[in-house]
Structure 1
Amino acid sequence: MQQDNTLQNGRIQRFLRGVEWLGNLLPHPVILFMIMCVIVLAVSYIASALGVSAIDPRPEGAAGRSADGIIYVKNLISGEGLAQIVSNLVKNFTNFAPLGTVLVALLGVGIAERSGVISAALRGLVLKASRKLVTFTIVFAGIMSNTAAELGYVVLIPLAAMIFHALGRHPLAGLAAAFAGVSGGYSANLLLGTVDPLLSGITQEAARLIDPSYVVGSEANWYFMMVSTFLISILGYLVTEKIIEPQLGKYNPNDASDEEILNSKIEPLTALEKKGLLFAGLSAVIFALLLAWTIIPEDGVLRNPKTGRVAGSPFLHGIVVFIFVFFAVSGYVYGKITGSMKNNNDVVKAMSESMSSMGLYIVLVFFLAQLLAFFSWSNLGAIIAVKGADLLKELGLTGPLMLIGFILICATINLLMSSASAQWALTAPIFVPMLMLIGYAPEVIQTAYRIGDSTTNIITPMMSYFGLILAVAMRYKKDTGAGTLMAMMIPYSFAFMVGWSLLFYLWVFVFGLPVGPESATYYSVG
């Protein structure tokens, strides 16, 4: 038995080293986008010279359709192409849909994060849970922490390990449960967060390669992701209780590399923190009621003024504003009561610090915006989509299993490139138009991507917080290695992949439910 375990661990270690080696071959995402821009320019020159083209699937008179019904590759290295690049370089950046929406949402999240309300809410949620429900609550809290992802990794995962140890349970089981929720359930949430406008903006830009007027809202996957929150929480609970904790066995304190951590005490919420959470919660409820008043009544002021419906309403178009206000109000109220925000300058400081943490994202967006623009101008994205869609139709790969296969592709790519935005930015311009042409709406395609992207976060050393999680684990069990951590998380990854894909199939194709408010399931080019 011991020899079998040794062989298994050896295979895991070799696989891990292989993944890490392949991942390290990839340059930084910013450099990768720069390289891709140059590649698109070069390919546009070669493909244009070779006369590469495709039949335009859009009907006559449709926006963006060529006069003769043929899509030709445009040479971007020509005089006309270079003039277009130079004239629109800044505009590509400033008009890039996800840029403004993510930054606006983050202003509110920054106030809430730095006031301490999110951290206190997570602590309160986990500490108040009964012994029987503590595992479920930790996974659930991990998923909810994704509105401010760093707090989940930095606060909740170490806290979960401490709670399990305090309860006489194996601390690594608590760490694994929290890690599964924070990272494996990254896309699920009851609330809209900064990842929603980020991904929807990229999806929208990709969809416009086929339909220049297509709009993908931040709320595009909201219904499905809310239900997914409970599914992932249940699966995380079952895997922890039935597989991980029994496999770990009884914890031996002598395994710790840091004896001080075993004596660490979990600080309960103070009376002031509880008061702050109470009033922050009340302010959030009042805001939600006011918002409901503007949208639920048939004459609600934020309904579509022309149709009177929610579809196409200022409410949906301005959902990012409400994310900003929701977090800003609750964060400010909590900060004023607890004293973490003494005056208006503290609010400004919280927002400015939040923006300063986005420097890398802004640099990345600049080159990402150029890449998507080059794809669009050169017509390479549209031609690849048409050719790919035709191939899928010829092979008969147009049914629901096609999207399940797409989930697996995204999950595999995520092992090497764990950044959700970077991965989607590279794959969306190809897969979104291609799958639109075989009949699926961008909102459904994005949902499938989010499942694949989330489920393998917890088993790749390329995930940015993998080293931090490993360091926390080693404090409780000094011989924990990358292979040990990955092996511990594989059951979660497998359970999430199977369970989430099954939910997706049932939700979309069996029950025919929309993945979000007014989100279409199918797309017709005509």
Structure 2
Amino acid sequence: MTDAAKPAKRSAIDRFLNVVEVGGNALPHPATLFAILAVAIVVLSWVAAQFDLSVQHPTTGELITPVNLMSVEGLHRILTGLVTNFTGFAPLGTVLVSLIGIGVAEHSGLIGASLRQLVLAAPRYLLTPVMVFAGVMSNMASEIGYVLLVPLAGLVFLAAGRHPILGMAAAFAGVSGGYSANLLLGTIDPLLAGLSQEAARIIDPAYTVSPAANWYFMIASTFVITSLGWWVTERFVARRFPDAPKADGEEDAIEPMSAAEKRGLRFALVATALVTALVLWGTVPADGFLRNPEDGDLLNSPFLRGIVALIFVYGVVAGVAYGIGAGTIRSDEDVIKGMGQSMSTLGTYLVLVFFAAQFVAFFNWTQLGLIFAVNGAGLLSQLQLPGIVLFAAFILLSAMANLFMGSASAKWALMAPVFVPMFMLLGYSPELTQVGYRIGDSVTNIISPMMSYFALIIAFLQRYEPKAGIGTVIAVMLPYSMVFLIGWTVMFSIWMAMGWPIGPGAPLDYVPAA
């Protein structure tokens, strides 16, 4: 056999990716997976009951035994609770309300115009950090960063005389690798907070997790991820994709902002400023109308409990203002259409939530989560590992799980009922555990073939590199993934060591109520 006839030797990365791809494809749809797990929990509750497993509650001293759902009483509970499990699932309402508001902003063109204005206004030497920053900010609006910003970044870099893949890599790193960093709250925040709250109530039935629970950490992370993404792009990726002259017939630039779009942005800016002034009026004065009416406290106030409503208000007000200024919204029908379009994309999500809600409810009913958490916490306590080491391992575990299961909410619905109570019993708050999960979930998005937009990114790269495939994307994005993992974990460790709160009313430690 000649050398030409021999099959090309696959690299270690290619072999690893093949394992990841085969393993990921072997998993059923997340909704099916939750349905299977819900049934498995019912069976497991029967098995646990046969072995008389029990633990002593660490705070009340009560003996905790598993509840058998494969019994007449269990069957009755499942039948009568099926609907309320779904309608009472904490993330459902918060996500729906948030998406209605953001849907108006997206449908009117506000989000797309804002991203274009941001990248067009940046000087050439700041293109890279601006692109990473724009990617981070775009992740508050779901898929807009993937669909709009990544291809737009290629055109912007091409117009500036730089390799287009360089721009797309920087944008993709911000959109997906920096998924849990932002200056603002998005739809993922109330969703994850709801799952964390459900898990925390295994230990403390009155515990609440605010959608803003990680906000301080997210704000700081925005600048860390932007800086790291800038450094990786210029230090590593730019070597593989040096500046090159544009090919004949290639676009010279993206479309400049039209007068209508500029007018729309001015309208949106004014409207946002007015809403912000109203919010500040209600929160800054000691007797502000958005503070706790009893003691003027801001941490336990309608302001923080109503964060989801504020996301809705900002999205609708800014989106309508932009639409009026730009001429994209001419009547109330256009507004309702934008809301409806955002809802129309949630069909699969609602099915996923239905089965996830059953799994979470069944898991809580059986008390297996509490039993596992107490036993796991006892084991970890005996190891006497520093908290920073424990969380570093948890971040790495989350990052590895993300390679096989792309949905952030689906993974957290599986992991939260075990890890949130476990870390609570070790004295760490659910909000801190959620931060650790979000770091791990973000950093491997850009190298996971299971990520829902991975195939789309390959298609974008093939416009400039026709032979680009999975290996190409991994080779380009792996430096970002590694640097983000190390840098973000170091930042998390410093944050823990300093004892800084990670969000409004979100401490690092968990202290059981007296």
Range class of TM-score, shorter chain: over 0.9
Q: Is the 8 A contact 1:392 1:398 kept in 2?
A: no
Work out the CA distance in 2 between the residues paired with 1:446 and 1:182.
20
* Whole-angstrom CA distance in 1 between matches of 2:171 and 2:10: 23
The residue correspondences of 1:358-373 to structure 2 (distance < 5 A) are 358-373=346-361
Q: Which of 255, 269, 279 does residue 257 from structure 2 map onto? A: 269
Output the amino acid matched with 2:451.
M
Match of 2:397 in 1: 409
In the TM superposition, residue 252 of structure 1 has moved relative to its aligned partner by 7.2
> How big is each residue's C-alpha offset from its partner over 1:89-148, in whole Å with a ceiling of 9 and x where there is no partner?
111111111100110011100000000000000000001000011110000000110121
Checking the alignment, whether the CA contact within 8 Å between 1:149 and 1:182 is kept in structure 2 is no
How far apart are the structure 2 equivalents of 1:13 and 1:212?
47
Q: 2:24 is matched with which residue?
A: 23
Structure 1 gaps, min length 5: 1-5, 61-68
Instruction: From the superposition, tell whether residues 447 and 362 of structure 1 become closer, same or farther in structure 2 (CA, over 3 Å).
Output: same
Deviation, structure 1 residue 247: 2.5
Alignment partners' CA distance in 2, 1:513 and 1:381: 29
Equivalent of residue 310 in structure 2, options 313, 319, 322: 322
Q: Which AA in structure 1 matches 2:215?
A: W
Q: Which residue of structure 2 lines up, in the alignment, with residue 504 of structure 1?
A: 492
Q: Partner residue of 1:517?
A: 504
Matched residue, 2:44: 43
Deviates more, 1:476-485 or 1:124-133: 476-485
> Which residue of 464, 476, 480 maps to 1:488?
476
Give the SS at the match of 1:133: helix
Structure 1 letter corresponding to 2:67: K
Task: Quote the sequence identity (%).
Answer: 52
Tell me how far 1:445 sits from its aligned partner.
0.5
Equivalent residue for 2:68, pick from 47, 72, 75: 75
Question: What's the counterpart of residue 57 of structure 2?
Answer: 56
What does residue 296 of structure 1 align with? 284
8 A contact 1:416–1:460 mirrored in 2:
yes
Alpha carbons 1:192, 1:323 under 8 Å: kept: yes
How do 1:339-354 residues align onto structure 2 when only pairs under 5 Å count?
339-354=327-342
Equivalent residue number for residue 3 of structure 2: none
Matched position secondary structure for 1:476: coil
Q: Distance in 2 between matches of 1:86 and 1:149?
A: 35
Distance in 1 separating the partners of 2:468 and 2:242: 15
Distance 1:252 1:274 in 2: 31
**Closer, same or farther: CA 301–253 of 1 in aligned 2, 3 Å:** closer
2-side partners of 1:421 and 1:103: how far apart? 14
For 1:121 and 1:20, how far apart are their aligned partners in 2? 36
Q: Distance in 2 between matches of 1:76 and 1:124?
A: 56
Which residue number corresponds to residue 211 of structure 1? 204
Give me the whole-angstrom Cα distance separating, in 2, the residues matched to 1:292 and 1:429: 36
Residue 397 of structure 1: which of 380, 385, 393 is its match?
Answer: 385
Farther-moved stretch of structure 1 (129-138 vs 145-154): 145-154
Distance 1:250 1:224 in 2: 36
Q: Does structure 1 residue 419 correspond to structure 2 residue 407?
A: yes
Q: Tell me the C-alpha RMSD between the 2 structures.
A: 1.5
**How far 1:418 moved relative to its partner?**
1.4
Does the C-alpha gap of structure 1 residues 368 and 398 become closer, same or farther in structure 2, counting only changes over 3 Å?
A: farther
Deviation string, structure 1 residues 203-247 (Cα, Å, up to 9, x no partner): 000111111110001000001101111110111111111110122
Q: Which amino acid aligns with 1:335?
A: G
Q: Are residues 7 and 225 of structure 1, via their aligned partners in 2, closer, same or farther at CA, if it must alter by over 3 Å?
A: farther
Q: CA deviation at 1:9?
A: 6.4
Q: Is the 8 A contact 1:203 1:428 kept in 2?
A: yes
The structural deviation recorded for 1:311 is 1.8
CA distance in 1, matches of 2:404, 2:220: 28
Q: Which runs of 5+ in 2 are unaligned?
A: 1-6
Contact in 1 for aligned 2:158/2:252 (Cα 8 Å): no
Whether contact under 8 Å (1:398, 1:438) holds in the other structure is no
Aligned counterparts of 2:340 and 2:160: Cα–Cα separation in 1:
40
- Pick from 153, 156, 159: which aligns with 1:163? 156
Tell me if structure 2 keeps the 8 A contact 1:437–1:524. no
Is the 8 Å Cα contact of residues 244 and 488 (structure 1) preserved in structure 2? yes
- Of 112-121 and 156-165, deviating more is 156-165
Matched, 1:196 2:184: no
Q: Is the 8 A contact 1:172 1:476 kept in 2?
A: yes
- 1:439 paired with 2:432, answer no
CA contact (8 A) 2:260 2:327 kept: no
C-alpha contact 2:158 2:246 (8 A) present in aligned 1: no
**Structure-2 residue corresponding to 1:474:** 462
The question of whether the paired residues in 1 share the 8 Å contact of 2:157 and 2:164 is answered with yes
Question: 1:65 — aligned with what?
Answer: none
Give CA-to-partner distance per residue, 1:23-63, whole Å, 9 cap, x none: 01110000000000010000000100110111111236xxx
Partner of 1:63: none
Distance 1:421 1:9 in 2: 34
Superposition pairs for residues 240-279 of structure 1, below 5 Å?
240-251=233-244, 262-263=250-251, 265-279=253-267
Find runs of 4+ consecutive structure 1 residues off by over 2 angstroms. Answer: 6-9, 247-254, 262-265
SS of the equivalent of 2:501 reads coil
Letter in 2 for 1:409: L
Q: CA shift at 1:10, angstroms?
A: 1.6
Q: TM-score, normalised by structure 1?
A: 0.94
What is the distance in 2 between the residues matched to 1:525 and 1:311?
18
**1:188 is paired with a residue of what secondary structure?**
coil
In the alignment, the residues of structure 2 paired with residue 297 and residue 450 of structure 1 have an alpha-carbon distance, to the nearest angstrom, of 34
* Contact 1:444–1:521 (CA under 8 A) maintained in structure 2: yes
**What is the rounded CA distance, in whole Å, between the counterparts of 2:69 and 2:259 in structure 1?**
64
Q: Tell me if the contact between 1:507 and 1:513 (Cα under 8 Å) persists in the aligned partners.
A: yes
Counterpart position of 1:374: 362
Q: How far apart, CA to CA, are the structure 1 residues paired with 2:8 and 2:361?
A: 49
Q: Counterpart of 2:227?
A: 234
Whole-Å Cα distance in 2 between the matches of residues 418 and 202 of structure 1? 17
Report how far residue 152 of structure 1 moved. 0.3
CA deviations 1:135-169 (Å, max 9, x no partner) are: 10000000110121211001100010111111111
Which residue pairs with 1:64 in the alignment?
none
- SS of the residue aligned with 1:451? helix
Contact residue 139 and residue 180 of structure 1 kept, 8 A? yes
Give me the TM-score of the superposition, normalised by structure 2: 0.96
Residues paired across the two proteins, number:
507
Distance 2:220 2:210 in 1: 19
* Post-superposition CA distance 1:292-350 (Å, at most 9, x none): 11011110111112221112111111110000000110000110111111100111111
Shift in CA distance, 45/493, structure 1 to aligned 2, threshold 3 Å: same
- The correspondence for 2:86, drawn from 93, 96, 106, is 93
Contact 1:437/1:525, CA 8 A, preserved across alignment: no
Instruction: For residues 459-481 of structure 1, give each alpha carbon's deviation from its aligned partner in whole angstroms, at most 9, with x where no partner exists.
Output: 11111101000011011011212
Any conservation in 2 of the 1:98–1:202 contact (CA below 8 Å)?
Answer: yes
Query: Do 1:138 and 1:160's aligned partners in 2 also have CA atoms closer than 8 Å?
Result: yes
1:120 corresponds to 2:116: no
